[in-house]
Amino acid sequence: MPTTNTIRFSQFNASLNRNADGQLITDLSTPNNAQAKAVAEIIQRNNPDILLVNEFDYVQGNPLQAVQLLQQNYLAVSQNGATPVNYPYFYIAPSNTGIASGFDLNNDGKVVTTPGATGYGDDAFGFGNFPGQYGMLLLSKYPIDTANIRTFQNFLWKDMPDSLLSTISTPNSNTPWYSSEEQNTLRLSSKSHWDVPIQVNGETIHVLVSHPTPPTFDGTEDRNGKRNHDEIRFWADYITPDKGDYIYDDAGKKGGVAAGSRFVIMGDQNADPVDGDSYDNAIRQLLQNPGINTNVIPTSLGAPQQAALQGGANVNQTGNANFDTADFADTVPGNLRTDYVLPSADLTISNSVVYWPANTDPNFPLVGTYNASLPGGFPSSDHRLVYADVEVGPTTAGKTIPDVGFLGQTILPTGFIPSGAAGTVNGVQTALGGLSGVAYDVAKNQFYAISDDRSQIAPARFYTFTTDPAKIATTGAAFTNVTPLKDANGNFFAINSLDPEGIALTNNGTVFIS
């Protein structure tokens, strides 16, 4: 078992789903399936420590067999010189996909209960042609605490307070899309939600995994869009103190994750922060949650390149193409960011990547571009593997400070007065002013600071300075630069319009001002 403190958590919608129950076992029974080989090579070249595979069929007859075949015939065999990878621990469980509901959930006038028949997937608890299609698999190099796994496959959508279920109506009417009988049966998870505790370096990391339904393939009632929203909301409530009290797992235990628990949320969330068809920017429920570390956004060289080359809907998107994780149709919706690895705020991200090589990279054929002659249209998948390197290790015990006293203030003899547009009002030089936030750049051995004057004496300003913190009261600080803050149009902020109060520096050198 690895001993490093840097743990690679990864999410990959690998499209290892098949159209018939058991076909995945057939395809993995030999080491020659081209798509599985490409998937395995991508995994080997990225070498995650903990990997969620979305769209891996749960084969009811023998769910473990497909996992064992993937490991033995593909991951344990070098693909094009890549180093084989071994996952001694894994977890796989049933999925709501393809389980007949017994109701006409798509309101086409027919209740379809025969697997594979037209309309069967739309009437199932989660879309699927047979039970377990599009399931999930979690692979780990670290021990899984199987006794404390929580699954939420059977949690009913109606039991989420203020859910969007009751707002779904038949178009042009006030008639509920789902009858009361259907609402009393319909499960929230289109696949499932799992809380899988993993023992890493002496502590427990809760790996929270799911695969919400795509917010498409419906009508103006937006039943899938609203379900996607609430599937994402489930994790936002689960990790937020006092928000997840309503949640119950499949064993009947109630409540969210224990306060103070460390976690990583992983999955193909089928939601982009700004583009696509998600309801009310659903993924922002996680990206704007204070309990989640979003300081490092994974990027790639291939995503912006392909967005530019493919054009179409990509041209008019408002999101940053560098963040895309899926190569979707160029008509609608275009390429999107749908796949996420989101650690808790108390975990540090040292690196985060989308595995999408540029087309000049010798490994680009592993992801390729859409080709109608290939099963599924791509050499591996239309999604890209995403990972985050997370620092996990023993932490220093916390201390309780019973009392604190304010010692006073120091006026620094900086000898620095900003000049020019950066520090004048009506052409008159102004003093430094107060500083409301300071951050330290270890690599450059300098401090960053922001003015705290609500732009009363000059445009809001960003400073750099050096000092010896131990002697700052006597030796002062050497201010090296000042930059006025400007709006998106390149204009100074008006007096009294901006009051900077916080500044933070990320590991990749980005400065955030609030």
Are both 378 and 431 inside the same structural domain? Answer: no
Are both 298 and 195 inside the same structural domain? Answer: yes
Predicted pLDDT of residue 9: 98
For residues 283 and 306, what is the distance between their CA atoms, to the nearest angstrom?
Answer: 23
Residue 473 lies in a domain: yes
Report the CATH number that the domain containing residue 361 is assigned in CATH.
3.60.10.10
Count how many domains the chain has. 2
Residue 111 lies in a domain: no
Residue 105 lies in a domain: no
Three-class DSSP category at 184 = coil
Q: What is the DSSP string of 287-325?
A: HT-TTB--SS--B-SHHHHHHHHH-GGGGG--S-GGG--
Residue 180 lies in a domain: yes
Are both 368 and 303 inside the same structural domain? Answer: yes
Using CA atoms, how far residue 440 sits from 346, 423, 454, in Å, is 19, 23, 23
Are both 216 and 150 inside the same structural domain? Answer: yes
Residue 342 lies in a domain: yes
List the domain range (segments joined by +) for residue 320.
Answer: 6-97+132-391
Are both 258 and 380 inside the same structural domain? Answer: yes
Residue 84 lies in a domain: yes
Residue 196 lies in a domain: yes
Predicted pLDDT of residue 145: 98
For residues 421 and 435, what is the distance between their CA atoms, to the nearest angstrom?
Answer: 19
Are both 58 and 138 inside the same structural domain? Answer: yes
Are both 340 and 468 inside the same structural domain? Answer: no
Torsion angle of C-alpha atoms 364, 368, 373, 375, degrees rounded to 10: 100
Are both 144 and 280 inside the same structural domain? Answer: yes
Are both 446 and 307 inside the same structural domain? Answer: no
Are both 343 and 474 inside the same structural domain? Answer: no
Count, residues in the chain: 514
Give CA 300 to chain center in angstroms: 15
Residue 278 lies in a domain: yes
Using CA atoms, how far residue 34 sits from 16, 20, 276, in Å, is 12, 18, 31
Predicted pLDDT of residue 398: 43
Are both 232 and 331 inside the same structural domain? Answer: yes
Helices and strands (H, E) in the chain, number of each type: 9, 19
Q: Count other Cβ atoms within 10 Å, centred on residue 192.
A: 25
For residues 266 and 52, what is the distance between their CA atoms, to the nearest angstrom?
Answer: 7
Predicted pLDDT of residue 412: 57
For residues 49 and 9, what is the distance between their CA atoms, to the nearest angstrom?
Answer: 6
**Each residue's pLDDT expressed in tens, for the chain with a length of 514 residues:** 555 799 999 999 999 999 999 999 999 999 999 999 999 999 999 999 999 999 999 999 999 999 999 999 999 999 999 999 999 999 999 999 999 999 999 999 999 999 999 999 999 999 999 999 999 999 999 999 999 999 999 999 999 999 999 999 999 999 999 999 999 999 999 999 999 999 999 999 999 999 999 999 999 999 999 999 999 999 999 999 999 999 999 999 999 999 999 999 999 999 999 999 999 999 999 999 999 999 999 999 999 999 999 999 999 999 999 999 999 999 999 999 999 999 999 999 999 999 999 999 999 999 999 999 999 999 999 999 999 999 997 544 444 455 656 556 666 544 445 444 444 444 444 456 677 788 877 667 788 878 765 555 556 777 777 887 666 666 677 777 777 777 766 777 776 677 777 888 776 667 778 7
Q: DSSP state, 214?
A: P
Are both 458 and 344 inside the same structural domain? Answer: no
